[in-house]
Amino acid sequence: MTASSQLVKKLTDKEMNEAKLKNWLSSQVRSEGYDLAVRELYGENSKDYFEKRRAHNKTLFQLYRIEKKI
């Protein structure tokens, strides 16, 4: 059984790499965001917390650029 050419979307290597990067960044943002939320609930304000928050924001910005929200 073969699919019609209209149903098959041909992705270029660049599009495939962007999709993989987008999925990876998305899962990383969710994971880091959860960890930060838990730490925030306990009122943490250590240097490590702020460094992780900065890294999370950087990753989030990269994801937004790929999704072209910025």
pLDDT 10s digits, 8-29 = 566 678 788 888 889 999 999 9
Q: pLDDT at residue 7 above 50?
A: no
- CA distances, 62 to each of 10, 28, 36, 70 (Å): 25, 11, 18, 10
pTM of the model: 0.72
CB 26 within 8 A of CB 63: yes
Alpha helices in the chain, H assignment, sequence order = 13-41, 47-66
- Reduced to 3 states, what is the DSSP secondary structure of residue 65? helix
